[in-house]
Structures are given as C-alpha cells and as structure tokens.
Structure 1
Amino acid sequence: MQARQVIEVRPARASRDGDGVAIQRITGMGHAGMDPILMVDELRSNYREDFAGGFPPHPHRGMQTLTYMKAGGLIHEDSQGNRGEIRGGGAQWMSAGRGIIHSEMPTQDSRGLHGFQLWVNLPAAEKMASPRYRDVPVGELAVLAGEHFTATAVSGDWQLDDGAVRGPLAELAERAGILDLQLRPGAGLTVTAAAEESLLAYLYSGSLEVRGQSVGPQQLLVTGSGDRWHLQAGAEGAELLLLSGRPIGEPVAHYGPFVMNTQAEIEQAIRDYQAGEFASA
C-alpha cells in the first residue's frame, strides 16, 4: 500500500453569489488534482441578511450540483417541476444535463444557515443527457461511528480504518463520493481509496496536522496518488468533507453556470438559454 500525501492546500475566497449570498468558494475548473470536483462553496452565517436573497432562478448545463445542509433550510424548485425542501443534515442532488433552470431559497424560519454546494463535472457523453433531481433527507444518510470519529456518507463507498459505509445517493456515486467526517481532538483516521481516484478534504471546523503544520478551516487539501490517507486532527478536533471521484480527464470550458468541453459549446448553451430552450429541456 502507498500512503497519499497532501500536494496542495487551496484556501477558500470570500465571495457573493445569487442575490448577494455570502459564501466561501474554492474553484477547480480544469484542475487535474480536483477532477471531477469543479467547485466547493460553503455558506455559513448566523445573520439572515447574509443569505436572505437566496439563489433566484438561474440556468445550468453540463454539470451536477450537490447541496448539503448542516443547519437551516433551503427550498429547491426547477423548470422540470421538481420541488424539494431540505433542512439540517439533508442533501439535494441535481444533474443539469442539457439544461435546467432552478432556484434555491432559504426557508422563512432559517435564522442561521450552514451548508455546502459542490459542482461535479459530467463527461462529454453525458453533458446533453436529460436533467435529473433527487432529495435525500437526513434520515436516509448512512452513519458510521467509531471510538474517535463519526462519519455521515452522502454518496460513494468509504473504507475508514476497519469500518465501511456507503452513501445512499447512488446517482452521484458514479462520479463522486461525499463524506462528512468529524474527528475528536487529537484523533487519527486512515481512509482507503483507489489509487487512481482524486481524494480531497475540505476542512470547515477545527484543524488537521499536515507535514508538521496545522491547517485551519476554509481550506481544501488535495492529495497525490496512493491508496490510503492518514488524517490527523489537531487539539480541537476536525470537521471536514471528504470528496472522491474518478478523474474524467477532459477539457473544461466554463462560463458562469455552464460547464462544457469547448468554447463553441458554451456559446451554444448561451444561445439555447436565450431562446428559452432550457425551460423545456
């Protein structure tokens, strides 16, 4: 077995999206070490004015989104007639395929909000497929608890020390695995993964020890090749999202909410959206 090493630490950048929603964002469009993960957004505020405007209707093509809420609630509606509401611990998955228009708005009773949205790429052969959507309430997520950790699986198969857990979101698992992991103070944990897969960790609370240095929140750890990764929590413990996926290895062309393979395809997506074709995709 070969141990994975952290080859890059990417800090999140403060940004705003939608109707002025405050987020911490890490982008990886075309980044080989993150493939197929395109972007990681963290939404976290106790002040409703930071997120009250939500994300009004907007289009997507050529990628998938995974929204995972830790606290507060969001309501999803889209041009396919789907509507879903998730609250603390639930997840929503959407594959935009050839085109969809959706909105994500905070529930009226959300006084604070903490959640994540991930963008996951689609290969060229699937970018023009039919849109799909699924809600996963918190009660359907799989939980594995050990002496020094608790792991909640959204998608993918995860091997942790001597335990294993599988997330229920099979629709996303073919492209990416998502695991919410809490490590107790000073605890260590080994994650086993296929050597050819990308394996990342987005730290959202506490710290991890990496090569003798402490890495704090709102940073993404990118690993190199290997089939096991030992995570070591700092003195305050660590809370993180583990992300895995088999790299697609195709060119990435990105413009706003569209992720395709070429600039010509981006320009076609813009024309199709302006012509109103996404509403009936």
Structure 2
Amino acid sequence: MSAKVIHPISLPAVQTSRKIEHTVRGMPTSDGAGVKLLRVLTQDLQRRLDPFLMLDEFRSDNPNDYIAGFPDHPHRGFETVTYLIKGRMAHRDNHGGEGLLETGAVQWMVAGKGIIHSEMPQQKEGRLQGFQLWLNLKSTDKMCAPGYEDIGEETLTHFQTENGTTGTIIAGQLGDLKGPVEKPNTEPLLLAISIPAGESAAIAIPSTHNAFAYIFEGNVEIEGNTAPLQTMAILTNSTSADGVRFENKGTEESKIYIAAGKPLNEPIAQLGPFVMNTRAEIEEAVFDYRAGKF
C-alpha cells in the first residue's frame, strides 16, 4: 500500500465569510443492531441542507457500543459516504460489493434502485470513530444501478498549510487540489480539517451551495460566534459569501468535518432507508424490497 501524500497548499482567500445561522447538537441514538451514535442531521433539516439527508457520528472506545454493527439492511434512492477516522469495518452487499474500511479511508456507496448491505466492525477492542453522511440523488438517477467503492487513505487528497492546518479532501475541489470523487448534479465538497491552537483557516465554498461544519474536536469561532464540540454549525447562504473563516482561539487542536453541496430543489419523501420523491415511489420501494427485487 502506498503512503499518503501531503500536498502543501495556500488556501484560496475568502473575502466574505458565511456566518453561523444556528447550531445543532447531535442527539444520542442507536441504529443497526444497537450501535450507539450521535444523529446530527435529521429529517427536519433536509430541505435546508439539500442535498444532504442525514449525518451520523459514531465514536466509542467501548466495544459494547459498536460490536453488533449494522447487519443486512436495504437502501434505495441516495448515496452513503462513510469516513472512518479510526477503526476497521467490513462492507458486504448483495450486488457483489465487498471491502474492508480501515483508519483514514472512505466508503462511497450508491444505493440507486436498491441494495442490501451490512457494515460490521472488524475489531473487538479500541476506538471506532467516523461519520456516515447521506447524499441525495437526482430524481432521474434514483433508479440507477447500485455501486460501491472503497477509497483508501492513500487515495484521498491530503494537504497542509503554512500555519500547520491539515486537511483531507474526500470530494470536490479546494484551490488546485481535487478529491477523488466528483458528482456533477450535487457538486459536493466534503473535507475534514484540523486547525492548531491559536490559528485560523479559510475554506472556499461556492455561493450556490448549502453548507455546514461539524466540530468533532475542540471548538471554533466563525465570524465571532462559537461552534462548540459535537455541534453542527449550519452556515448562512449569501450570494456575496465566497467561503467560511474558522478561528481556533482555544488551547487545543480543533477538528471540523465540512460539507457543502448544490441543492437539487426536488421533493423529498423518506421512509427509513428509502428516500424518493413521492409517497407512491416509497410504497413501490417497500413492495420491491419485500418481493426480493433488490
């Protein structure tokens, strides 16, 4: 396996920063076979943060919180992006997709017209930590063929600035650097950054995109307002804003997961693991799943 390459970068200047519209604290819940997690982006925010449908953070050193994993379950109509910060997790689906997600890697799955998969921890001790983000599909793509891709840490795009800020680009473009994934309909920018104590970082974001920042270590200030640990800062939309400026005024490193995407502006109908445009399409998804058509 190749070692990851860290690219030196001067982050593009941000003339006008977005602000914090409001913050959302993650709500403790469980999913799968009892995996404990924080659900951050919920259904009531889907219109505001279109094309993003859900964000979960999982983080525990206690194997009882994660060991049962996520046995076989279905999806239709969207994509899942799993970023594993620490740990090992195996994926297997009914379309032949199979892989081992390890520390620093990403799993990108297209549910399309229907997929049944499992996500099972491959460790019995130690920390399991990461994020799963649901990204909507355009109505004309919801019944596309399912797909699965493992993106190793060495394939992701890593950078470091002169002030010691480091980052990983999963999708989209930042300055002259591109992540390994591009999606033309939603144009997602997905990245994680670490800002040293006392330093700042500016991230360019297209003014056409909805965006949020989730703080998973430390805290940051955005235009004078604080975003604390384990909160999602929904960033204001403005045609004049060309990005967002983060300031770490604390005494420890701040780590932020940033997502921005071009809204689809289409109806959203969701029932559990199925996300379509109409209630009739949801009923069809349930029927097809029960009929073994996934």
Q: Normalising by structure 2, what TM-score? A: 0.89
**Residues 246-261 of structure 1 mapped to structure 2, 5 A cutoff:** 246-261=262-277
Give CA-to-partner distance per residue, 1:19-40, whole Å, 9 cap, x none.
Answer: 0000011124363331111111
Matching of residue 199 in structure 1 with residue 179 in structure 2: no
Name which of 220, 228, 231 aligns with 1:219: 231
Name which of 196, 204, 229 aligns with 1:184: 196
Superposed displacement of residue 231, structure 1: 1.0
Aligned twin of 2:135:
120
Q: Which has the higher mean CA deviation after the structures are superposed, 241-250 or 24-33?
A: 24-33
Instruction: Summarize the Cα distance change of 1:222–1:20 in structure 2 as closer, same or farther, 3 Å threshold.
Output: same
Distance 2:279 2:92 in 1: 29
Residues 223 and 245 of structure 2 are in contact (CA less than 8 Å); yes or no, is this contact kept in structure 1? no
Distance 1:12 1:237 in 2: 20
Q: Normalising by structure 1, what TM-score? A: 0.93
Superposed displacement of residue 220, structure 1: 0.8
Q: How many residues align?
A: 274
Give CA-to-partner distance per residue, 1:162-220, whole Å, 9 cap, x none.
Answer: xx421112358954221010001121111112111112111111001145443222111
Matching of residue 90 in structure 1 with residue 105 in structure 2: yes
Letter in 2 for 1:122: L
Aligned twin of 1:266:
282
Matching of residue 238 in structure 1 with residue 238 in structure 2: no
Answer 1 or 2: which has greater strand percent: 1
Percent identical: 36
Aligned twin of 2:171:
155
Distance 1:124 1:268 in 2: 15
Gaps of 5+ in 1: none
**Residues 55-74 of structure 1 mapped to structure 2, 5 A cutoff:** 55-74=70-89
Name which of 114, 123, 135 aligns with 1:108: 123
Aligned twin of 2:146:
131
Residues 75 and 106 of structure 1 are in contact (CA less than 8 Å); yes or no, is this contact kept in structure 2? yes
Letter in 1 for 2:102: R
Superposed displacement of residue 51, structure 1: 0.2
Matching of residue 12 in structure 1 with residue 35 in structure 2: no
SS of the residue 1:140 aligns to: coil
Distance 1:175 1:259 in 2: 19
Letter in 2 for 1:66: V
Q: Which has the higher mean CA deviation after the structures are superposed, 96-105 or 181-190?
A: 181-190
Residues 72 and 110 of structure 1 are in contact (CA less than 8 Å); yes or no, is this contact kept in structure 2? no
